[in-house]
Amino acid sequence: MRRASCTLVRFDRAGQGGVNSGRAVLLYGPPGNGKTSIAERVSAIYGDIIYVPQAIEVDGQIIKVFDPALHKPVQTNSQEDESNSIRKESLDRRYVACKRPVVITGGELTLEMLDLRYDPVAKYYEAPLHIKALGGTFLQGNAATLAADGEGWRMRTAKGPLEARDAVLALGPWADVLTRALGYDLPLAVKRGYHMHYRAAGEARLNHPVLDVERGYFMGPVRRGIRLTTGAEFALRDAIRTPVQLGRAEPIARDLFPLAERLDTEPWMGARPCTPDMLPVIGPAPLHRNLWFAFGHAHHGLTLGAVSGRLVAEMLTGETPFVDPAPYSATRFGA
Ligand SMILES: Cc1cc2nc3c(=O)[nH]c(=O)nc-3n(C[C@H](O)[C@H](O)[C@H](O)COP(=O)(O)OP(=O)(O)OC[C@H]3O[C@@H](n4cnc5c(N)ncnc54)[C@H](O)[C@@H]3O)c2cc1C
């Protein structure tokens, strides 16, 4: 590291840890402070090869990951590969052996850059930059097939069996289906919610979200139109949909803003996974080795996803957690 960067920037502790991990590192800072030079030199220090999938498939949609503009393919039988190879067997041709990539966005990093981009001409999605930087792979399978396998876990995926030492059970409102099957009696219920999209009538524009506290609805401008949402509904997760609140809120909202026709054939419905104390269940599964729980985020799963991910990762890798995980333990329910 010193050879690579001493003339440029001093890394802090977090920076060194990130670089040593050999995983993707995000460098940010004001322009002109040497980020690009550091990134290129760090990558050169490793000098190794990663295997980037050509594309991955999610729900029948193709997401292109290999990007010739970012990934530099190398000959798999090259000297470089021989010295570093983790696979001596012949290469699966769905993967491309590449030099460890350096992805430079330039300018401001926006949220859109972290999202999938659909190419309407080619009819596939382009993976976001951080996936390309990781050479990431996403496998989909039925979590109900998860089973202990020696010290680790095994489940079936569309691409065959997947084995891992650790498994994180993060199934939101469906978590109890698997926890029950594994012998846990954890209390999990749902608060359901609905929304519908509308076109704005005429030239009307809604420039910011509006919350009508007195009459209990919320609407805001989104890409699809105006989204009208309702309050929480107490019902069983799989009970028949009853968007009664939406039907009542719609004429009231129309008093305030000229909503035109509905844009969805059915109201969207989601379920917030709630525990009795409204805290999530995060941490080791008490009855199983190398199994971790991360569910029950109730109203705040979108907000808390990143910190819950960090907490689980720190516990799983034996690091000191950044917050005391005790309040989230499954053992509080006598599990
Ligand atoms: C109407 C509504 C409004 C909300 N508003 C907010 C808000 O403003 N802010 C906020 O922070 N949070 C909000 N939330 C809460 C947030 O959406 C949840 O807390 C969050 O989605 C939970 O994340 P999760 O990853 O635990 O579960 P989920 O996002 O529900 O993901 C669980 C995943 O598991 C998958 N799955 C289930 N069973 C299986 C199986 N057998 N095999 C494989 N996969 C399976 C599901 O398909 C799903 O993709 C809202 C929720 C609702 C319903």
The 10s digit of each residue's pLDDT in 271-302 is 999 999 999 999 999 999 999 999 999 999 99
Under the banding of pLDDT at 50, 70 and 90, the label for residue 92 is: confident
Q: What distance in Å separates the CA atoms of residue 183 and residue 195, rounded to the nearest whole number?
A: 35
In angstroms, rounded to a whole number, what is the distance separating the alpha carbons of residues 187 and 180?
10
Give the residue whose CA is nearest to atom 33 of ligand 1: 171
Judged by average pLDDT, the poorest of 5-9, 84-88, 89-93, 97-101 is: 5-9
Ligand 1 pocket, 270 CB below 6 A? Answer: yes
146 lines ligand 1 (CB under 6 A): no
Q: How far is the CA of 107 from the centre of ligand 1 (A)?
A: 33
User: In this predicted structure, what is the pLDDT of residue 326?
Assistant: 97
| pLDDT above 70 coverage of the chain, percent | 84
Please check the confidence at residue 56 and state whether its pLDDT lies above 70.
yes
Instruction: Please tell me if the CB atom of residue 272 comes closer than 6 angstroms to any atom of ligand 1.
Output: yes
* Residues 230, 193 contacting (CB under 8 angstroms): yes
Q: CA-to-CA distance for 139 and 37, rounded, in angstroms?
A: 34
Q: How far apart are CA 287 and CA 178, in angstroms?
A: 13
Residue 10: per-residue pLDDT: 44
Q: pLDDT by residue (tens digit) across 106-164?
A: 666 777 878 888 887 777 888 888 888 776 566 678 899 999 999 899 998 876 788 89
The DSSP call for residue 107 is S
Q: Which numbered atom of ligand 1 lies nearest the CA of 195?
A: 1
Give which of 251, 216, 209 is closest to 230, Cα–Cα: 216
Chain center to CA of 213 = 32
Q: Which of 5, 90, 12, 85 is nearest to 49 (CA)?
A: 85
Ligand 1, atom 1: closest residue by C-alpha: 193
142 lines ligand 1 (CB under 6 A): yes
| 206 pLDDT above the threshold of 90 | yes
Q: Read off the pLDDT of each residue in 198-216 and give the average, rounded to a whole number.
A: 94
SS3 212: strand
Closest CA to 208 of 249, 248, 255, 257: 257
The answer on pLDDT for 330 being more than 60 is yes
- pLDDT recorded at residue 186: 96
Q: Is the C-beta atom of 269 inside 6 A of ligand 1?
A: no
Q: How far apart are CA 101 and CA 242, in angstroms?
A: 50
Alpha-carbon distances of 182 from 148, 175, 275, 290, rounded to whole Å: 10, 11, 18, 13
Average pLDDT of span 195-211: 95
Asked if pLDDT for residue 4 goes beyond 70, the answer is: no
Q: What is the pLDDT of residue 22?
A: 62
Alpha-carbon span 49 to 52, nearest angstrom = 9
Distance 155 CA to ligand 1 centre (A): 21
- Of 24-33, 65-74, 137-146, 302-311, give the range with the top mean pLDDT: 302-311
Is the distance from CB of 146 to CB of 156 less than 8 angstroms?
no
- Give the 3-state secondary structure of 259-326: EEEECCCCCEEEEEEECCCCCCEEEECCCCCCEEEEECCHHHHHHHHHHHHHHHHHHHCCCCCCCCCH
Taking the centre of ligand 1 as the mean of its atom positions, its distance from the CA of residue 129, in whole angstroms, is: 24
pLDDT for 40 beyond 90: no
- What is the secondary structure of 144-168 as a DSSP string? GG-EEETTEEEEEETTEEEEES-EE
| Closest residue by Cα to residue 42 from 18, 68, 66, 65 | 18
Q: Taking all residues of the chain, what is their mean pLDDT, rounded to a whole number?
A: 84
172 lines ligand 1 (CB under 6 A): yes
Q: Give me the mean pLDDT over the 206-227 stretch.
A: 93
d(CA 272, ligand 1 centre) in Å: 7
204 CB near ligand 1 (under 6 Å): no
Query: 114 phi and psi, to 5 degrees?
Result: -95, 5
Contact between 219 and 227 (Cβ < 8 Å): yes
Integer Cα distance of 120 and 99 in angstroms: 30
Task: Give the distance, in angstroms, between the CA of residue 107 and the centroid of all CA atoms in the same chain.
Answer: 24
Q: Which domains does the chain have, with CATH numbers?
A: 1-46 (no CATH), 48-138 (no CATH), 143-187+275-333 (3.50.50.60), 189-274 (3.30.9.10)
Q: For a substitution probing ligand 1, which of 171, 307, 311 has the most ligand atoms within 8 Å of its CB? A: 171
281 C-alpha vs ligand 1 centroid, how far in Å?
A: 14
- Ligand 1 neighbour 11 (Cβ under 6 A): no
Question: Does residue 280's CB lie within 6 angstroms of at least one atom of ligand 1?
Answer: no
Task: Find the mean pLDDT for residues 183-205.
Answer: 96
Position 226 scores a pLDDT of 96
> How do beta strands 217-222 and 210-212 pair?
antiparallel
